[in-house]
A and B are shown apart, each in its own frame.
Chain A
């Protein structure tokens, strides 16, 4: 039964390696390595953003959550999508106009200060690493379930592949792996959704009626409140979802792959359509799994519900569809981790090595060597952490990444573009408080502490009751940036802000 799935996995591996081979011929300069020489079209980047963003957590996690908890699972779909309005309205164009290779470039365009760049780079590395560990641990478990390959080998296979894409093919290979994955994921999701609809005679009403009796929750399945009991926690989660995306480094660097701000805008619009359609279809995946696979079978395969979509494929289309959807899930993982390696490596090589350590004096060749070694270093570190975290429940690391992005990055990005009075001290205090408040609150949260042995990582009462820190840490990040600015004796640099204002809004002198 695993024969076909294994064959499709090999095809995906071969396809991505061919992409990498061709991309490697166009990956000789730092600009090509970090941004594919800003040569992508709006459509290509739109698909790549979608491919970068729709992780296995989205595809498998949300489908499972909707199948098990009904409406509450759909909260994620909504938040992940509406977040793109924040990206489109506030962040994408100024970022494209001010930055070069990394998010820290944008902040450094205004505050040419080593500390500011260093902390911004640190935040990028922290966010990308949390996200990557969650993806790799999920990948290891998933491939084990789908193919029967041992966890350690699964993580190593994914780890080696992502390293090859990034080291040899840089942003060009990463982008095209993401584009291919986005197309595969949309095709796979669409096929399952249509099959689910056929089963319900193309009637959404009938589908809603039937899931009422399909799960142990009964009619409550369709109402909110099955998963999220605490109102404050629900709102906190929604806050991190909607504001976090605009601060995720691996998404932000995608805007440097197009030539100018209008193209960056177009790519967000395309991405929003694709991502929106995908998240609408998660209802069919979730409801379909609830109706045709059944609660018991989903939970038996994986308590978190991650196997709901592949099991639904099996129930509807037999071994062939199961193999195809498994291969799609595999491609999904590869595309996301490649983007994460690239974003963390660019913070190490471009921000720390080229700008801070070498003060911008490194030659092009030295920078390329640094970029490649940084990618290898990031990959090895992540693989080791993922192997170490095998037995831990690390799904919360994704929400932690969103919380840090919203608490530490977003305030600084917004103030850099819009606030004349904002200064270096404010940037530093905002980033540090945003990062550490999110980290500490998660450390003391129910994600890490539970009185029940085995339910979380450590045993004991959580000091902080919310699973999602956003509602506290995001305001703290903003307030710290404001207080730091106001308390500092630095005078406001009007000339510099005029320059930022013109550059951010017009793209003059790029």
Chain B
């Protein structure tokens, strides 16, 4: 019961709308959108290109390196792509974390009651 009251109190003490209107929060949302949206589209297109190409054509069946065809190279490229985008995301997310820290700081100081 005590926990419920506590969270209820906290609940009312933070003005979320005010935070969403702050420039630091809007900056975070813009930065995230600019990063996440294009890259998500990219990896989805990159991913579906493989089954679409192998299902509707034979272009990937031609040999690339010795007996290894382009289909296999494209398949391996999916792994490289996934690891690269993972690493890229964790690098960028470090910036997001800094921005979040600032927003938290402002929310605390701003006395958003």
Tell me the dominant secondary structure on chain A's binding face. helix
Most buried by A among B44, B55, B89: B55
Is A499's CB within 8 Å of the partner chain B?
A: yes
Residues in B with CB closer than 8 Å to A88 are: 86, 89
Find chain A residues with CB under 8 A from B43 CB: 82, 85, 89
Q: What are 14 inter-chain pairs, A to B, with CB distance below 8 A?
A: A84-B82, A89-B43, A208-B67, A209-B66, A212-B67, A224-B61, A235-B48, A235-B51, A268-B86, A269-B90, A498-B20, A501-B20, A502-B16, A509-B10
Hey, which chain A residues are within 8 Å of B32, CB to CB?
505
Which 5 residue pairs spanning A and B have beta carbons closest together?
A231-B55, A224-B54, A208-B67, A499-B16, A498-B16
Interface residues of chain A, those whose CB is within 8 Å of chain B, are 71, 74-75, 78-79, 81-82, 84-86, 88-90, 204-205, 208-209, 212, 222-225, 228, 231, 234-235, 238-239, 242, 262, 265-266, 268-269, 272-273, 276, 279-280, 360, 494-495, 498-499, 501-503, 505-509
Residues of B in contact with A (beta carbons under 8 Å apart): 4, 10-11, 14, 16-17, 19-20, 25, 28-29, 32, 36, 39-40, 43-44, 47-48, 50-52, 54-56, 58, 60-61, 65-69, 71-72, 75-76, 78-79, 81-83, 85-87, 89-90, 93, 97, 100, 103-104, 107
Nearest Cβ distance between residue A40 and chain B, in whole angstroms? 18
Give which listed residue, B29, B39, B71, contacts A224 with CB less than 8 A.
B71
With A224-B71, A235-B55, A505-B28 in contact, is A89–B79 under 8 Å at CB? no
Contact assessment for A81 and B17 in the assembled complex, using a CB-CB cutoff below 8 Å? no
The residue of chain B having its C-beta at the shortest distance from the C-beta of A364 within the complex is B3
B104 contacts A506, CB within 8 Å?
yes
CB pair B36 A222 closer than 8 Å: no
Residues of chain A within 8 A (CB-CB) of B54 are 71, 224-225, 234
- Contacts of A74 on B, CB cut-off 8 Å? 75
Partner of B79, one of A71, A81, A235, A269: A81
In the complex, which of the residues A205, A266, A509 contacts B65, with contact meaning CB atoms closer than 8 Å?
Answer: A205
| Complexed CA–CA distance, A265 and B92 (Å) | 12
User: Judging by beta carbons under 8 Å apart, are A272 and B82 in contact?
Assistant: yes
Assembly CA distance A495 to B4 (angstroms): 21
Complex Cα distance, B53 from A71, in Å, reads: 14
Contact B40 A89 (CB under 8 A): yes
User: Which of B10, B71, B79, B97 is packed against the most chain A CB atoms within 10 Å?
Assistant: B79
Q: How far is the CB of A456 from chain B (nearest CB, A)?
A: 24
Given known contacts A208-B66, A262-B93, is B48 in contact with A238 (CB within 8 Å)? yes
Residues of A within 8 A of B82 (CB): 81-82, 84-85, 272, 276
- Looking at the complex, which one of A208, A279, A508 makes contact with B19 (CB distance below 8 Å)? A508
Chain B residues, Cβ within 8 Å of A273: 83, 86
Would B51 and A234 count as touching, CB distance under 8 A? yes
B61 near A223 with CB under 8 A, answer yes
User: In the complex the two chains form, is B39's CB within 8 Å of A506's CB?
Assistant: no
A137 CA / B30 CA spacing, docked (Å): 48
A231 touching B50 in the complex, CB below 8 Å, given contacts A85-B85, A224-B71: no
Do A509 and B14 touch (CB < 8 A)?
yes
In the bound complex, residues from chain B placing their C-beta under 8 Å from that of A276 are 79, 82-83
Cβ contact within 8 Å between B68 and A205: yes
Find out whether the CB atom of B97 lies under 8 angstroms from the CB atom of A262. yes
The reply to whether A238 and B61 form a contact with Cβ atoms under 8 Å apart is: no
Check A269–B86 contact: CB distance below 8 A: yes
